[in-house]
Amino acid sequence: MASGSGLSIDVHMAPMRPFVGAASEGAGDQPLWSPMSSSLITGAEEAVLVDTLITFDQVDVLADWAERHDKRITAVLITHGHSDHWIGLGRLLERFPDARGLATGKVLDRARFEATDAGLQKYWHTCFPGEIPDSPVLPGLLEDGTFELDGHELQIIDVGQGDAEHSSLVYAPSIGAVVAGDVVYNQVHMMTAETDGASRAAWVANLDAIAALNPTTVVSGHKRVGAPDSPETIEQSQQVPARLQPHRGRPGDRGRHRRRHAGAARRPRQSASAVVCSQAGGRQAQLNRAISMTGAGCGAQPEFRMSSRSGAAHEPNSLQNAPTSDAKHRRDKGTL
C-alpha cells in the first residue's frame, strides 16, 4: 500500500499449512496451522519487518519477498512472545545483517520463557519437527516505545492482553497503519486458550483502544489469505472474546452484533482446553495449565487446529470465513 507521506506498508502471507498435531478424526481431518502475516513498513531507503513467521521455508520465502523491495531493513519488530511470531528471527537476520530484532520488555520476557521452558520447546519442535531452530535467537530489548524509520516515527505500543497476556502493536501514525499481532484476528479462528473472563474483557477493551487510534489499515497476525487489512477487523475480533463471557457480550453491544453478523451468530463451541483454562482461575494458572497441556503434544492445544473438511468441526470460535473446504484451502495457498 503506497502513501504520499513517505511510508508505506506491505503484507506478506504464509498460507495455512499442515503441522504435526493430534491424530486424524477421519478422512479430510488434518491439523492446519493458521495463516500468518509479516508486514514490511518501508520508507525511502529503509524498512522494518514486523514478526518473522515460523519455519525455515516460511522465513526464506519472507526474506526473498522483503529483499525484492530493495530497502535496507533496519529492524525486525516482534509483536508478542508466542514463538510463531519470533522463532524465525535468527534465520531472518542472517539475510538482513543490518537489522536488529527488537521487542518490548514484557514481550521479550515471554519470548525468553518460550525459548527456555521444556514443555514449550517440546511443543514447538513436535509441531514443526526439523523446521525450526534448536537454539532460537531472541530479540533485543526495545528501550523506547518509538522507532525512527527514515525520519518517520513508528510507535511500539504495549497494548497488553490479546491472545497472549502481553502484546504490543506497531503503529505508523503518518499512514494510519496498525500492525496488531494477535490482538486482532481477521477471518480465521481465534486462539483463546490462555484467557479467562477477566483477560477476555481486557482484550475487548484493548481492541477499543486500537479503534481509538482511528487506523485506516489494521494488519492481523493471523488472517485469511486475501482478507483486507481493514479497521472493521477490530470490532469483528471483539465478538469471540465477548461471546465467551458469561453474559455473551458487552452490555449494549449484543443487539448490534446480532444485527450485523446474523449469518454468523451461532454460539461458538468452546474447546475443551479453553473450558479447562476458564475454570483454572487466574492468568498465571491458565498459562501454566496451557503450558502443561503443550507437553502432551500439539493436539492438546486445539485452538490452533483447523479442519480441512467442510463443517468447521474444529473451529469452535471461528468468526465467519475460516477456510473449511479443500477447494478453499487450495485457494489459500497463494500469497498476497
Residues that bind Zn ion in the complex, under the rule CB under 5 A: 82, 84, 182, 221
Q: Which of these, 330, 225, 237, 315, lies nearest to 271 by C-alpha position? A: 315
Closer CB to Zn ion, 77 or 149, in the complex: 77
Question: Based on CB atoms, which residue is closest to Zn ion, 71 or 223?
Answer: 223
CB of 34 to Zn ion, least distance (A): 7
Minimum CB–partner distance for residue 82 and Zn ion (Å): 5
Is 182 or 303 the residue whose CB approaches Zn ion more closely?
Answer: 182
Find the shortest distance in angstroms from Cβ 221 to Zn ion: 5
| CA atoms of 223 and 166, how far apart (whole Å) | 20
- Round to the nearest angstrom and report the end-to-end CA distance of the chain: 12
C-beta neighbour count of 167 within 10 angstroms? 29
Q: Give whichever of 223 and 289 is closer to Zn ion, judged by the CB atom.
A: 223
Cell numbers 472474546: residue: 241
Secondary structure (H, E, C), 51-74: CCCCCHHHHHHHHHHHHCCCCEEE
Least distance to Zn ion from the beta carbon of 222, Å? 6
H or E element, residue 92: helix 89-95
Provide the minimum distance between the beta carbon of 46 and Zn ion in the complex, in angstroms, as a whole number: 26
Nearer to Zn ion (CB atom), residue 48 or residue 164: 164
Q: How far is the CB of 112 from Zn ion (least distance, A)?
A: 17
Give, in degrees to the nearest 5, the angle at Cα 134 between 108 and 182: 40
Name the residue nearer to Zn ion (CB basis): 7 or 293: 293
Pairing label, strands 140-141, 100-103? parallel
CB atoms under 10 Å from CB of 247, counted, come to 10
